[in-house]
């Protein structure tokens, strides 16, 4: 059965024009005027855009003594409800666990996905097994490797491990990613704050000031440069980190920064709320920052020094957050956002004039599809691309509320916020998953998206690295001593 989206305005990262879109066999079959199909979706007054891609989620993730509450079913249902048609989740080996073993666990969990998905692999420890298995992981179409520079004693890796892993990524044509916070300094600050009687959620923010993020971001950039690989910095939350990324890009380094919708729209005052639950529900790393840092992130999106808006969706219930009563270091770190990323970014970015519609498409979909080497299968409105599409009604409004959300948790960090701009239809490889705001997802419809290593940027950096590699200076024999 074919589907035609009629009377809409197509908005891509670089073009805005009126045309119909014909979908057949899960792919875009034609784009043009006056198309016909078996099923007609009316896009009058709407924008037809590539579905969102959220490259940073943690669904059913074992973390801090519990599991994140949204699994691949509820998480991807929330995604589709908000116009996101693909997620990239982190397969997370526990220290000592093999990468392929972890991958088997994530394959099992993801079988329930309602939309397409891919994985990044986390490097949480270093050894010969990890080195060897990285190649097999790339062979499975997982070409990005995440490193935690924080969470000391759990997921954190040190600089020697970072350098070794980055060099392995260079050999394999893969993309290293970093959670950039100085984990040693954070651990010291946490211990001191607790000793001084700072046990509440506000201490979480004090324990991770912007400097720990700026320092680690700069360090990761320099290590990547020495290894000859591009670098993707997840959840860039502050000017200190943005500055390091901006400077690196100006110097020609291939570095991308990813602000989250939470950091763009919520600030540190949340942690000083008199209600413990309210503050603890917003504990995540890095923490929310001041308005000045928010302005820096918005400027980065407008100028192109920051490339992608994600969520880091890692949702915990109030009950789980309460594990940290009396000790803020035990509050599970993470917040939700999958359903709200696109409407919140449209409302606070496009309707305010901070970014254009085309930039909205770039930072929610097309840029990351290119960075992760899956463009134009994903992130495009082009003939032959997957029909992952959102028909966006820029006039539709709602008030965000936990009572009506898809996520499994009992609150929403954006509770009470008004949004303008919502999906009328969301299509996942041609399947209409949201119609007139009604969610009609199908569990297990989602497919794994395998990605090719050796993206153009990797090849360019490797060529340069080879050209500038150390070489012995040819010299004649050492002259005999004495004249």
Query: Which residues here bind ligand URP, judged by CB under 6 A?
Result: 58, 179, 284-285, 312, 314, 333-334
Closest separation between CB of residue 285 and Zn ion, Å? 6
Give the burial class of 479: count Cβ atoms within 10 A of its Cβ; 0-12 exposed, 13-18 middle, 19 or more buried: exposed
Give the torsion sign (CA, 160, 165, 171, 173): negative
Closest separation between CB of residue 333 and ligand URP, Å? 3
| Distance in angstroms (rounded) separating the CA atoms of residues 204 and 327 | 10
Task: Count Cα neighbours of 129 within 13 Å in the Cβ-side half-sphere.
Answer: 11
Is-cis flag, bond preceding 24, omega within 30? no
Q: What is the size of the binding site for Zn ion (CB under 5 A)?
A: 4
Closest separation between CB of residue 284 and ligand URP, Å? 4
Nearer to Zn ion, 383 or 402 (CB): 402
Residue carrying structure tokens 């305010």: 352
Q: What is the DSSP string of 64-76?
A: TTEE-S--HHHHH
As given in the structure block, the two tokens for residue 99 are: 């990468």
Closest separation between CB of residue 447 and ligand URP, Å? 25
Interface stretch with Zn ion, choices 18-26, 47-55, 71-79, 311-319 (CB under 5 A): 311-319
As given in the structure block, the two tokens for residue 11 are: 């908005």
Closest separation between CB of residue 19 and ligand URP, Å? 39
Nearer to ligand URP, 215 or 359 (CB): 215
Residue carrying structure tokens 């998953």: 433
Interface stretch with Zn ion, choices 159-167, 188-196, 270-278, 344-352 (CB under 5 A): 270-278
Closest separation between CB of residue 479 and ligand URP, Å? 60
Binds 333: which of Zn ion, ligand URP, none (CB < 5-8 Å by kind): ligand URP
Give the torsion sign (CA, 254, 255, 258, 259): negative
Residue 278 interacts with Zn ion (CB under 5 A): yes or no: yes
Binds 334: which of ligand URP, Zn ion, none (CB < 5-8 Å by kind): ligand URP
Nearer to Zn ion, 46 or 156 (CB): 156
Q: What is the DSSP letter of 268?
A: G
| Distance in angstroms (rounded) separating the CA atoms of residues 90 and 106 | 9
Closest separation between CB of residue 241 and Zn ion, Å? 12
Binds 284: which of Zn ion, ligand URP, none (CB < 5-8 Å by kind): ligand URP
Binds 92: which of Zn ion, ligand URP, none (CB < 5-8 Å by kind): none
| Distance in angstroms (rounded) separating the CA atoms of residues 148 and 176 | 11
Nearer to ligand URP, 179 or 348 (CB): 179
| Distance in angstroms (rounded) separating the CA atoms of residues 208 and 189 | 8
Residues 151-180 that bind Zn ion (CB under 5 A): 179
251, 258 Cβ separation under 8 angstroms: no
Nearer to ligand URP, 260 or 380 (CB): 260
37, 2 Cβ separation under 8 angstroms: yes
Number of Cβ atoms within 10 Å of the Cβ of 1:
9
Which residue number has the CB closest to ligand URP?
333
Binds 398: which of ligand URP, Zn ion, none (CB < 5-8 Å by kind): none
Q: What is the DSSP letter of 362?
A: I
Binds 278: which of Zn ion, ligand URP, none (CB < 5-8 Å by kind): Zn ion
Closest separation between CB of residue 456 and ligand URP, Å? 28
Residue 276 interacts with Zn ion (CB under 5 A): yes or no: no
Nearer to ligand URP, 201 or 421 (CB): 201
Is-cis flag, bond preceding 286, omega within 30? yes
Q: What are the E-state strand segments in 286-355?
A: none
78, 406 Cβ separation under 8 angstroms: yes
Closest separation between CB of residue 150 and ligand URP, Å? 7
Which one of residues 60, 73, 213, 312 is an interface residue with Zn ion (CB under 5 A)? 312
Which residue number has the CB closest to Zn ion?
278
Binding site for Zn ion (CB under 5 A): 179, 275, 278, 312
């Amino acid at each position: 059965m074919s589907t035609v989206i009629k009377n809409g305005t197509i908005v891509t990262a670089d073009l805005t024009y009126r045309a119909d879109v014909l979908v057949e066999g899960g792919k875009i079959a034609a784009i043009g005027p006056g198309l016909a199909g078996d099923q007609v979706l009316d896009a009058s007054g709407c924008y037809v855009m590539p579905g969102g891609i959220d490259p940073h989620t943690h669904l059913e993730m074992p973390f801090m003594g519990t599991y994140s509450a949204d699994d691949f079913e509820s998480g991807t249902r929330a995604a589709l409800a908000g116009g996101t048609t693909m997620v990239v989740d982190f397969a997370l080996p526990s220290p000592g666990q093999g990468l392929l073993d972890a991958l088997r666990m994530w394959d099992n969990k993801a079988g329930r996905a309602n939309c397409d998905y891919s994985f990044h692999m986390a490097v949480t420890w270093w050894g010969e097994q990890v080195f060897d298995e990285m190649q097999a992981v790339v062979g499975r179409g997982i070409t990005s490797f995440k490193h935690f520079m924080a969470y000391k004693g759990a997921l954190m890796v040190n600089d020697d491990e970072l350098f070794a892993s980055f060099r392995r990524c260079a050999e394999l044509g893969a993309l290293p990613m970093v959670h950039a916070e100085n984990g040693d300094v954070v651990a010291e600050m946490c211990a001191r704050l607790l000793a001084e009687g700072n046990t509440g959620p506000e201490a979480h923010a004090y324990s991770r000031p912007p400097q720990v993020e700026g320092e680690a971001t700069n360090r990761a950039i320099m290590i990547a440069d020495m290894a000859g690989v591009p670098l993707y910095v997840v959840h860039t939350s502050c000017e200190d980190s943005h500055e390091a990324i901006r400077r690196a890009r100006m110097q020609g380094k291939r570095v991308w920064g990813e602000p989250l919708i939470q950091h763009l729209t919520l600030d540190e005052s949340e942690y000083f709320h008199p209600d413990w639950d309210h503050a603890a529900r917003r504990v995540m790393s890095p923490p929310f920052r001041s308005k000045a840092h928010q302005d820096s992130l918005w400027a980065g999106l407008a100028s192109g020094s920051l490339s992608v808006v994600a969520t880091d969706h890692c949702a915990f219930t109030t009950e789980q957050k309460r594990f940290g009563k009396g000790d803020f270091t035990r509050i599970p770190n993470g917040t939700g956002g999958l359903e709200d990323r696109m409407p919140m970014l449209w409302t606070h970015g496009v309707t305010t004039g901070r970014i254009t519609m085309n930039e909205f498409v770039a930072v929610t979909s097309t840029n990351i599809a290119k960075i992760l080497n899956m463009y134009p299968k994903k992130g495009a409105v082009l003939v032959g691309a997957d029909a992952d599409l959102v028909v966006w009604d820029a006039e539709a409004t709602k008030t965000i509320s936990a009572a009506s959300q898809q996520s499994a948790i009992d609150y929403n960090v954006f509770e009470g916020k008004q949004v303008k701009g919502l999906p009328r239809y969301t299509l996942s490889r041609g399947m209409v998953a949201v119609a007139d705001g009604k969610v009609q997802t199908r569990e297990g419809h989602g497919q794994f998206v395998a990605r090719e290593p050796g993206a153009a940027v990797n090849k360019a950096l490797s060529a340069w690295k080879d050209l500038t590699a150390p070489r012995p200076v040819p010299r004649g024999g050492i002259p005999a001593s004495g004249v």
